[in-house]
Structures are given as structure tokens and as C-alpha cells.
Amino acid sequence: MTDINGEMKAAADYAIRSAKDKFGQELDFSDQSTDKLENLLDQAYRSFSNQPKDENTNTAITRTANIWGSYLGEFMRLKWGGTWTLKGSERLVSIKNAEFSPIRFVYKKITSHPEYSVEKYLMVTKSKILPSPVIPKQSQNLSENIKQSKEQSIINQPPKNTKKNKNLVFILLGIGGFVLVIIACITFFAVVLSPSSLQNVSIMEPTEAFAEIPLLQPSLPLTVIIPSDTPSVTPILPDAEPILPRTPTQQINPTTLAPLRIHFIDVGQGDAILIQGSGGEVGLVDGGDTSSGIVQYLQSLGITHLDMIVATHPNADHIGGLVKVLNTIPVDKVVTNGMMHTTLEYEHFLDAIITSKAEYVEVKRGETILLGNLNFDVLSPISNTDDDLNNGSLVLRLVYRKVSFLFTGDTQPAAEEILLASGLDISATILKVAHHGSRSASPLDFLTAVQPEVAIYSAGLGNDYGHPHPETLDALTSVGAIIYGTDVNGTIIVTTDGDGYSIETTKQVQTPTPPIVLPTTEQTSELFINVVSLTSPITPGGTSRLTINTIPGAVCTITVYYKSGASQAAGLGSQTSGENGDVTWSWKVGSRTTPGIWRIVVTTELNGQTISTEIPFEVR
């Protein structure tokens, strides 16, 4: 058995030398050095983001994660004591009674989660090993209440250890979005981690000192099966972030499941969730906005009848699509929270219910919505008198044997805190993240009580509001959830037989990112903007589309200038070009638009370099 602590120290020393020699950064184990590490990781992320997905790249990423992760681990050990331990192929830092995987953290940060922060990771780590210095007293009490109530209702809950095991197996098999984001950097590899620079540091050779972290290949199927009663791997204590075990221990054949299927449908900016019970019952929770394409989705599945529609609250991005559904497909029952809106869209929704002759039901906390043999417990709101429509969202919990779901609509902290204080069981295996992942929802104490294994948010790519917000993603990560989003994963389908669950997604993840110019490399290629297509001329009231091509990873914005100034139409948000460099915007040209030849200004930014171009655009 080799001396792992000695190895890791040597690896950290190598990291320090690399930082100094290649990047001019002083990593000296001071608190300030974590900022420098953060910068180095950001650089690595940007460098890897724009490279071909191949074996060389995977190797380079793994080595990079090992190098900077070793420094981070040593930093943690110096600060709080502890030792390195080897678990399977993974090097963990064991501090007091907790285990951490700084290498895995770095790996995720440089491949798929640039928003992760070293500072926050260390904060969470600290909170796990020291007696609750971060959690305010009140929240602690609340958590205690929740815990008690969970124990009382244990009959509905998977045993805790089972849940952990599931988590482990799940993570290794799937990681849906995260896994598919393996991107490369030959440049970085050549400059920083070239074989020559590794020669005198034999410890960095993966085959010797560093067994490869298992990298999940993009070719792996997106389906992940999570058996809940998997034989236990050594129990892993709560960690600042999930740890990957090395190999799957068990895989269930999906065909043996008698499944409940829940579709988190990609409807752009909005929510729409389809529930297909094992007895053929079908329900829909929200329908996205008027352009959501929800009807086509239902029709593509051969759905010609809905037992139930739930509108969590009456904002346009939740009920707009329901109007079309009600006008197209027979619906037995419509369930709402009873809160009214004044928009035409809401009025159309009411009209559509009236015409459909569906039963109309309003519910609040304490009631249960039945869909076949599925029971959706209504946890919020308490009444329909809230001033804030989002806050009044229906929050529903569905327990399907050992697998539970929490549907939150756009609920806000005010309601979430009331729900927490109620002591009701809000734990869920799968959480539909509130309000499209907005920072305005999902406070950490709420997420801690939910303790989701999987968190799914629904948001449109390049939406106008910046959803999901990084703060929310951080909080979800810190409670150990695997995150999926309809913006990056497309439609996300969870299948469960009540024991395990599987997750399928329709889109492979593209990482939006600017590659950066490393200090020792030459300038990369010049920025450019090519117009691929534009709907022009267009008549007022029509929908226009613009597609441009630029360097992958560039941040692109457009502004449409009419006679009176910049358009405020929805859909003109800023976007990052994907792997092929394409970016597409789609927006409605208002019916009041003055005819004429106007201009669209496209700006792309990469590595601090910015270029703009003007495209003529005719309205007639």
C-alpha cells in the first residue's frame, strides 16, 4: 500500500509549481490562495469547453482535476486536519466523521459547473465538519421538527440508508447532464500537462499514482436505472457534494418495471409536467405558455384524453398552453388553487374549462388530489388569498412507494417557510425546483428538508430572466442533488416502479463557454459573426428568427432597433453559442411595429474581445 498522504502532498506541490510556472499564481495555502485557485479553475473550464470530445481530452481533464483537486484537498487538511483515503478509485479527504471529494468537485467545476465556487465548497465543507456554525438557530429547530415528522411518517419513506445507496448508484450510472459535458483542451493539455512536464513528477501519471476517475463517456445511454435496494457500498457520510463510486453494482432492466412515468417537458420558459400512471391514468401539471407546443407533445404520445389538469397558479407561463390543451383534448377535471388573475390569457383559460365541461375543483393544504391510484397531497397554499400569484402556487407531494416527488410550481420563500414550519413531510426523491430555478425561491433550509436526490428545473434556453440562477444551483448542489434542467437536458422523463427510478433526457448537454487564452499560448482565432438565416421581411404580428454563427462559447446578444428604439419583445435575451457556434433567437414582431427597414445589432464577446455587426431587417 503506497503512502497516499505522501502522494497527495507531492501532487499538491506539483499543483503549486504549475500555478507559479505556468500561470504566475502563488498557491501558498493561505485563505487568499483559494481565490487564485478559483481563477485557475475558471481558466481550465473555459479552455476545456471548446475542445473535441476524445480520449486525450478526457485524460487531460482527469489530470487537471487531480492536480488542482490535490491542492484543494491539502488546503482542507491543513485547515481542519484529516487524511486522504482511497475508496475504490477515488481519493477522498476524510476529516473527522465526514468524507469529501475535492477532486470530484474540481472535476465538475471544470467540466460542467463553472458556477460552483471554491469558497462556497469550503464553507459547506466547514459546516459539515464543525458543529453547525452556519445554520441559524431557528432553522435548526425547524429542521428538527421536520426530522421528527419524517420519522413518524416513515411508512411512506424509503429507509435512509437505502436512499443514500440509491444516491450513490444513481450518481455513478447517470449524472445525466453533467456526464455529457466532457469537453477537451488539447491546448491546455499540451501547455500545462504535457507529458514532458509530467516526466519529473511520476506521481501524476494516471496509471501509477492516479487511477483514472471513472469518466462517463458521451456514448453512454442517457437512461439511468437506480435500484433502491442495492447492496451497500461502504456508507459515505454527508459530503459537500456527491461522490462517485467506481462501477455500477446493479442495473435493473427497465422492461421489468410497472412504471409511473413523469415527463418534465421542455416547453421553453415555463412549466409543464405530464404524469402517466401505471393504470393508464394521465394528468398534466401546468402547460407552459401559449407557444409551448404542449398539445403536439401529448399527441406525439398518442394521448387523446386527460383525466386531470392541475394549474399550479394562473401566470401565463403555466396556464397559456393549458388553453390549447382544453380546446383540443377532452379533460375530465381541472384543479386550481382558486386564485384569480385578470389577464386575457386567464380568462381564455376559464372559457376553455367552461367549454370543455370539465369538472372544476379548487384545493388547498390538507386536501388530496386523486389521479387513478395516485394521491397528490396538497401542501400549499393554506388559502387562496395571497397577494403574490407565484407564492400561492399549489405545492403537491406524491409518494409512490419508496420514491417521492415534490411539485412546487413557482412557490416563493414566504410559502416555503410556512411549509417548513408546519412540520409536514416535504422530503422528496425528486424535486421539481420552484420558479424555474430563480434565486427568488428555494432557500437552503427548505432544500435541506426536502433532501432531493434529483432536482429538476424547467427553464427556456437563453431566457429573458437568467433562469436558473447560479445561487439556486449552488444550493441544490450543496444538498447533494443531481440537477437536470429542461434548458440543457430537453425533456426529462422519470420512470419509477416505486423501488428504483430511471431518468431519460432528450438532449445531450452542450456546454456554453468561452475558451480562454492561456497565458503561454498565442491568441486564438479572430472572432467573427456570420448570419445564417433571418426571417425578413416580416409583417407585424409575425414571429422572426435569426440564426448566426460564431466561435463556440461566445456570449451573443442582439438588440432590435425600430423607429422608436430598442424592442422589448420577449426572446431577445443573451445567449452563449453552442458547440457548432450557432445561436438562434426567436421573437414576435409586435402588431404595432412601424413598417420600414430597421436594424438588428448583434454583439459577440469572447475573452474580453467584442465585435458587433448590424443586420438590416424589414417590417412591411
563 binds other proteins (CB under 8 A): yes
Q: What would the grid cell of residue 481 be?
A: 442533488
Question: With respect to other proteins, which residue has the nearer C-beta, 37 or 534?
Answer: 534
Question: With respect to other proteins, which residue has the nearer C-beta, 238 or 590?
Answer: 590
- Which of 207, 255, 525, 592 touches other proteins by CB under 8 A? 592
Distance CA 112, CA 95 (A): 27
- Which of 315, 411, 489, 536 touches other proteins by CB under 8 A? 315
Least Å distance, CB 25 to other proteins, is 35
434 binds other proteins (CB under 8 A): no
Selection from 474, 471, 430, 433 nearest residue 453 by Cα: 430
3-state secondary structure at position 559? strand
Binders of other proteins among 443-502, rule CB under 8 A? 464-466
Specify the pairing of strand 308-310 against strand 282-287: parallel
- Which of 14, 210, 264, 562 touches other proteins by CB under 8 A? 562
311 binds other proteins (CB under 8 A): no
Least Å distance, CB 171 to other proteins, is 32
Q: How many residues bind other proteins (CB under 8 A)?
A: 49
Least Å distance, CB 589 to other proteins, is 7
345 binds other proteins (CB under 8 A): yes
Cβ proximity of 594 and 619 under 8 Å: yes
Order of strands, edge to edge, in the sheet holding 454-457? 368-371, 374-380, 395-400, 403-407, 430-432, 454-457, 482-485
Only segment of 152-160, 208-216, 310-318, 505-513 that touches other proteins (CB under 8 A): 310-318
393 binds other proteins (CB under 8 A): no
Backbone angles phi, psi at 452, to 5 degrees: -75, 145
351 binds other proteins (CB under 8 A): yes
593 binds other proteins (CB under 8 A): yes
Pattern 538-557, binding to other proteins, x per CB under 8 A?
A: ---x----------------
Distance CA 303, CA 295 (A): 9
Q: Exposure string (b/e) for 502-536, b if CB count within 10 Å is 16 or more?
A: bbbbebbbbbbbbbbbbeeeeebeeeebeeeebeb
CA torsion sign, 179 to 181 to 183 to 189? negative
330 binds other proteins (CB under 8 A): no
Least Å distance, CB 595 to other proteins, is 10
DSSP letter for each residue of 228-261: TTPPPPSP----SS----SS-S----GGG---EE
- Which of 292, 390, 491, 505 touches other proteins by CB under 8 A? 390
Q: What would the grid cell of residue 196 be?
A: 514532458
411 binds other proteins (CB under 8 A): no
Pattern 243-282, binding to other proteins, x per CB under 8 A?
A: ----------------------------------------
Distance CA 385, CA 106 (A): 46
Distance CA 325, CA 328 (A): 5
Question: With respect to other proteins, which residue has the nearer C-beta, 410 or 474?
Answer: 410
421 binds other proteins (CB under 8 A): no
3-state secondary structure at position 141? helix
Q: For binding to other proteins (CB under 8 A), which residues are involved?
A: 289-290, 315-317, 340-347, 350-351, 353-355, 357, 359-360, 362, 387-390, 438, 440, 464-466, 541, 560, 562-570, 588-594
